[in-house]
Amino acid sequence: MAATYEPIATTTLGSAQASVSFTGISGSFTDLVLIISAGSANTIGFNYVRFNSDSGTNYSATSLSGDGSSATSQRSSNSNKGWLGYWTGIENTIKTMSITHIQNYSNSTTYKSWITRNNNANGSTYSLGTEAAVGLWRSTSAITSMTIYNQTSGTDYNFIAGSTFTLYGIASA
Amino acid sequence: MATTYEAIATVTVGSGGAANIEFTSIAADWTDLLLKLSGRTNKAQKQENIQLYFNTSNSNFSFKMLIGDGSAATSYGTTNSQVADVPAATMTANTFGNMEIYIPNYAGSNNKSFSVDSVDEGNQTTVYSYLTAGLWSQTAAITGIKIAPAGANNFVQYSTATLYGIKNS
């Protein structure tokens, strides 16, 4: 029986690290799923993704989020990284997780989009809540690599030790 | 080749109903857990909250919820472990709600952050969809998960829940 849902690669940080990359992603699957359980070295960190090392302003994203008191929606466009999640790590501990689905990642005809769910329900001042976001990479290239960054106001911060990143492939046949 | 995405156990509620659905003795064989529920309760209302327990405890939880009711989006936070709604007795007949809980690194020694998506759709004026961030501030491995109607009612017949294990290698 063919494996439908298969781990491609996983990384657990033994020490703090500024970014995490998955390279050499084959076109063997139909969709990708990225699971992140992470913390940031900064008080508040935001997750971004860059595909195939493309640093052009080809990324946009729209989010719907709730912080425990109000619901908001935000958008970024013409960015040089994709907004993978409005928040990731807080207070130097691992209390945030996200699930990102990237459909039809290996076709060479359409732009690539993703949907992500981000969650941090920590009860402290920096608890930022729950979010659903969609993103777009305006490229028809097949995704063969991705790098995940933790950033706030244009400054990169480290993911803390113990953060885990796993990329799964889903095959439709 | 190892099975990456595996059904650990499934429960289908029988004709007498069930006060809860529980998965026990969850081994640390996987990396993440995914619980899928199709549920309805017998409470004499349109909806009923579902109470979540890890390792038989419903303490040390916190939640941030984003809720849509068909006319507005709202958000609130709580430390009550009532994680979502499902349809209840006066909701459109034969209608069950969906809930999905994803728990990464459930056997690890960090606090457990998890994601919950749920809906209690029905042919009613007001129904709800929830996007929920959950945190269980305990470092113990999760070895048991229980969900129960918050009002001490029963899940009705045909409610089903399946616990999946997902392995990263």
Which tokens belong to B53?
Answer: 């327990």
Banded model confidence at residue B1, pLDDT cuts 50, 70, 90 = very low
Which tokens belong to B46?
Answer: 């349109």
Residues of A in contact with B137 (CB under 8 A): 122-123
Domain that holds residue B100: 10-166
pLDDT at B119 over 80: yes
Count the domains in chain B.
1
Chain Cα centroid distance, residue A120: 14
Burial group, residue B62, by CB count within 10 angstroms (0-12, 13-18, 19+): buried
Q: Interface of chain B against chain A, CB under 8 Å?
A: 1, 4-5, 31-32, 62-67, 73-77, 79, 102, 104-105, 110-111, 113-115, 117, 131-135, 137, 166-169
Asked, for residue B99, whether it belongs to a domain, the answer is yes
- Percent of chain A with pLDDT strictly greater than 70: 91
Asked, for residue B3, whether it belongs to a domain, the answer is no
CATH code, domain with A25: 2.60.120
Distance from CA of B14 to the nearest CA of A (A): 31
Task: Report DSSP letters for B119-140, one per residue.
Answer: E---SSS---EEEEEEEE---S
pTM score, two decimals?
Answer: 0.94
Put residue A153 in one of left, alpha, beta given phi > 0 → left and psi -120 to 50 → alpha.
left
Residue pair B56/B107 in contact by the 8 Å Cβ criterion: no
CATH code, domain with B116: 2.60.120
Amino acid at B31: T
Domain that holds residue A110: 5-170
Asked, for residue B4, whether it belongs to a domain, the answer is no
Asked, for residue B5, whether it belongs to a domain, the answer is no
Residue pair A47/A170 in contact by the 8 Å Cβ criterion: no
Measured between alpha carbons, how far is B59 from B137 in angstroms, rounded to an integer? Answer: 9
- Of residues A40 and A134, more confidence is placed in A134
Measured between alpha carbons, how far is A144 from A86 in angstroms, rounded to an integer? Answer: 24
pLDDT at A91 over 70: no
Put residue B143 in one of left, alpha, beta given phi > 0 → left and psi -120 to 50 → alpha.
alpha
Asked, for residue B25, whether it belongs to a domain, the answer is yes
pLDDT at A86 over 70: no
Q: What is the pLDDT of residues A115-168, one digit of tens each?
A: 999 988 876 655 678 999 999 999 999 999 999 998 888 888 899 899 999 999
Among residues B13, B7, B43, B50, the alpha carbon closest in space to that of B159 is found at B13
Count the domains in chain A.
1
3-state secondary structure of A48: strand
Strands (E) across A24-139 are located at 31-38, 46-51, 59-66, 71-79, 82-85, 96-103, 112-120, 129-137
Q: How confident is the model at residue A89, as a pLDDT?
A: 54
Distance from CA of A158 to the nearest CA of B (A): 18
Judged by CB atoms closer than 8 Å, whether chains meet at A3 and B134 is answered as no
Which member of B62, B115, B131 has the closest CB to residue A122?
A: B62
Q: Find all residues with CB under 8 Å of A19, minimum gap 6, and list them.
A: A147, A148, A149, A150, A156, A159
Q: How confident is the model at residue A57, as a pLDDT?
A: 98
Q: How confident is the model at residue B23, as a pLDDT?
A: 98
